[in-house]
Chain A
Amino acid sequence: MLGKLNWQAIPFDQPIALAAGAFVVLVIVGAVIWVVVKGYTPYLWREWITSVDHKRIGIMYCLLAGVMLVRGFIDALMMRTQQALAFHAPGYLPPEHYDQIFSAHGTIMIFFMAMPFVIGLMNFAMPLQLGVRDVAFPTLNSVSFWLTAAGALLVNISLVVGEFARTSWLPYPPLSELRYSPGVGVDYYLWALQISGIGTLMTGINMVTTVLKIRAPGMNYMRMPIFCWTTLASNLLIVAVFPILTATLAMLLLDRYLGFHFFTNDGGGNAMMFQNLIWAWGHPEVYILVLPAFGIFSEVVSTFCGKPLFDRRSMIIATLGICILSLLVWLHHFFTMGAGGDVNAVFGIASMVIAVPTGVKIYNWLFTMYGGRIRFSSPMLWSIGFMVTFVIGGMTGVLLASPVADFVLHNSLFLVAHFHNVIIGGVVFGVFAGYTYWFPKAFGFVLDERLGKAAFWCWSIGFYVTFVPLYVVGLEGMTRRMQHYDRPEWYPWMLVAEVGVLIILCGIALQVAQLWISIRERATRRDLTGDPWDGRSLEWSTSSPPPMFNFAVLPHVVSDEPYWSIKQQALARGQLVAPEPPEYGPIEMPRNSPTGFVTAFFAVVTGFSLIWHIWWLVILGLIGAYATFVVFAWRDHREIEIPAEEVARIDRANRTARAEALRELREGVTR
């Protein structure tokens, strides 16, 4: 009746897992009760859960990412502590549990922290920068978010009901086949990723279409902000490679559920093919993550140096070059699997070549800073921290790109340090910069700067204290994922790494404090003009937060720094560029819809019942999903109209604020 599900699924005999699971359940139940009791449910449902507004969806993505960052970091803390304790000792985590923790850490950080954070920022900022009202397919956007959340939910359910995969963040067969992983852990992983993978693919399609087909009049390709170019490149990669992930995981699922022989040891299966296909997805995936971060840095650096970005054209070409090259290097993840010298050499050289366009970008940022008036606000600190940290990580990457070196260092802690170097230095610093940069636009008040800077320093110093020891022990031969070890030369470095991760913990605590305190003090931190950083692109021409329709009248773009040129003109003339209010018309916006939430609900039901082999529930879940689709397709009213008077009222407030800011600027200038 309930398939494989029974009371043994709950980890009553594992105290740590039980405590963690109980804590998570209490927090979630407590949050739900608080929301319901305080009467927030209708507001949440109407304004957030059923929202198809790209800004709201972007914020929810970032919120999901923030929560999962904490969960993934706790996993990291547990791993570091285990390795700091387990010298000639068993540590406190038995191997079965430790294996689940490092698998969960990687899976959560990549799929449910980094991807949502990056996608959330792209969702929020890209339409505003393009000067338009929403993405191409707003309801699909909502479905994408909720499917991602569904995947995250499934992974977290595994903490309480059942177990997670022990096969690391990429489940190599034959270990991940049914024979060697008969439990539900790998199934949790596979279904969570298949479900959220569909969401991500939909996002890719949505954003590619938006960037190519929906821009303000006058915005040709050369006038598009660099963040939108990197959004395009990243989403082209999503469209190109997520289908490979879907197919490969499907093959593993077929092996596990229906006894197929794609990757099995018997029947002619080829386990090596899994690694080939999964890395054909996996390498572009990391560029999907880092390209938008590069875009964020381009925006932040030019804004906080008060200069246009140095050589936009080479920046764009470098972005597209990285996009294409990232598709040509995947074998460097399995040099040691034995493809031979010829194949290894080709992929090794390609992997080194990809450093060239990346270097072009670094030089462009440096030249942007040179001669500029640099303001060391926290987004700029994150950017400078990125430039130093990512370059070091990139250099170790080029080192690993040599098959000769990689044969020694493959799957050592040197590798682990390298990819954390580039992911933390690149992606994490990037999303933190973007979070701080666009927070005032999203919520209407600025985050506390002092706490933000303190958090940056903790993260930066903590990162080096954690991972430089890992470089060292990697060179000394320590393999990754070790539950215990007995080499005395590694032990002190593990202790240093433990200190490092505690410093990062302080950084995260400071970020939480920053958010809490800024929210409490938001009345004094209001962003009244919509332009707290003296920005250069179009999102800063809206109020903070922008109205639902973003722009009362779509701007006409004539330069590659649209808002900057508007501001210069206004300063010169002493009045708003459009002194008379424009002619307002009614604006049609897409109507909110529960489709996303309901689809995700059925996805969770279907996924959970597939994992536990509850077949009748699977069928119900699929029928529910199809019914949702039909109901959505059958609706008559797809848009709401915002009357012209409402548009006029909102825009007039924005114009008044800007006229006031202009007056103050000019008085400051002439004084």
Chain B
Amino acid sequence: MSKPSDFEAGSYVGGDRVPGAPEERTLAQEVRGYLLGLGLATLLTIASFWADHTREIYASGIAMALLVLTVAQIGIHLIFFLHITTDPDNENNILALAFGVLIVCLIVFGSLWVMIHLNNNLMPMDKLMQMQR
């Protein structure tokens, strides 16, 4: 089948894209897109497992390498499975995603920064109780 798939086009001025809906292309093209995404994701996943076991990467950098691989894998998912693109119709979706990423970073890295300082200055209860034994 090579006829374009039957999705409603944006029916008003400024038709923007729904996140997740494949654009109007042929079926073969769409399947190829998903297969490419699957392939890349698999490769990166294998890379993650390899990084965890190998000693080729500088030892203390393994955790950082895994973080980078995580971001890359998430990127593959966003592009190939969720169809996030940079065309102007997608603006709102990308802005929302950027906002979400900002919040996630604030929560995770902000909490870590604060809690590490708190723990350094004020020992959590159990360690305090261990010391008193």
Contact = CB atoms under 8 A, between A and B. Distances in A.
A338 B121 contact: yes
Contacts of B124: 268-272
B121 A339 contact: yes
B92 A280 contact: no
B117 to A, nearest CB: 4
B111 interface: yes
B114 A331 contact: yes
A273 B125 CA distance: 12
A240 B119 contact: no
Interface in B92-109: 92, 99-100, 102-103, 106-107
B122 A280 contact: no
Given A266-B126, A269-B126, A340 B99 contact: no
Contact of B117 (A174, A241, A339): A339
Most buried by B among A240, A241, A264, A269: A240
Nearest to B117: A339
Contacts of A327: 102-103, 106
B118 A337 contact: yes
A221 to B, nearest CB: 11
B118 A267 contact: no
Contacts of B107: 244, 280
A276 B129 contact: no
B125 A271 contact: yes
Contacts of A276: 111, 114-115, 118
Given A212-B92, A236-B99, A342-B117, A272 B111 contact: no
B113 interface: yes
B110 interface: yes
Contacts of B99: 236, 240
Contacts of B121: 338-340
A270 B92 contact: no
A568 interface: no
B54 interface: no
Contacts of A244: 107
A343 interface: yes
Nearest to B95: A212
A329 B76 CA distance: 34
A212 B94 CA distance: 13
A569 interface: no
A240 B111 CA distance: 15
Interface string A423-446: 000000000000000000000000
B114 A343 contact: yes
Contacts of A264: 125
A174 B110 CA distance: 23
B120 interface: yes
Instruction: Indicate the size class of the contact surface on chain A.
Output: 20 to 34
B90 to A, nearest CB: 13
Nearest to B120: A340
A605 to B, nearest CB: 33
A405 to B, nearest CB: 20
B56 to A, nearest CB: 34
A216 B4 CA distance: 32
Interface residues of B, number: 22
A645 B33 CA distance: 51
Interface in A587-643: none
A272 B122 contact: yes
A240 B100 CA distance: 7
B118 to A, nearest CB: 5
A277 interface: yes
Given A338-B121, A339-B117, A280 B110 contact: yes
A272 B92 contact: no
A41 interface: no
Nearest to B12: A217
A279 to B, nearest CB: 10
Most buried by A among B100, B114, B121, B126: B114
Nearest to B127: A268
Contacts of A339: 114, 117-118, 121
Contacts of A267: 126
Contacts of B129: 265-266
A648 B52 CA distance: 70
B111 A280 contact: yes
A315 B115 CA distance: 36
Given A280-B110, A327-B103, A273 B115 contact: yes
Given A266-B129, A280-B110, A272 B115 contact: yes
Nearest to A273: B115
A244 B103 CA distance: 10
A205 to B, nearest CB: 11
A340 B119 contact: no
Contacts of A212: 92
Interface in A262-291: 264-273, 276-277, 280
B125 to A, nearest CB: 4
B113 A343 contact: yes
B88 to A, nearest CB: 14
A269 B128 CA distance: 12
A328 interface: yes
A213 B15 CA distance: 11
Given A269-B124, A339-B121, A340-B117, A277 B106 contact: no
Interface string A51-91: 00000000000000000000000000000000000000000
Interface string A330-351: 0100000111101100000000
A241 B104 CA distance: 10
Contacts of A236: 99
A236 B102 CA distance: 12
B29 to A, nearest CB: 28
Nearest to B103: A240
A328 B106 CA distance: 8
B118 A272 contact: yes
A337 B114 CA distance: 11
15 contacts: A236-B99, A266-B129, A268-B124, A268-B126, A270-B115, A271-B124, A272-B118, A277-B111, A280-B107, A280-B110, A331-B114, A337-B118, A337-B122, A338-B118, A339-B118
Q: List the 10 shortest-distance A-B pairs measured between CB atoms, nearest first.
A: A265-B125, A338-B122, A339-B117, A338-B121, A270-B124, A240-B103, A343-B117, A272-B118, A340-B117, A268-B126
Interface of A: 174, 212-213, 236, 240-241, 244, 264-273, 276-277, 280, 327-328, 331, 337-340, 342-343
Given A272-B122, A339-B114, 13 more contacts: A174-B125, A265-B126, A266-B126, A270-B125, A272-B118, A272-B124, A273-B111, A276-B111, A276-B115, A328-B106, A339-B118, A340-B121, A343-B117
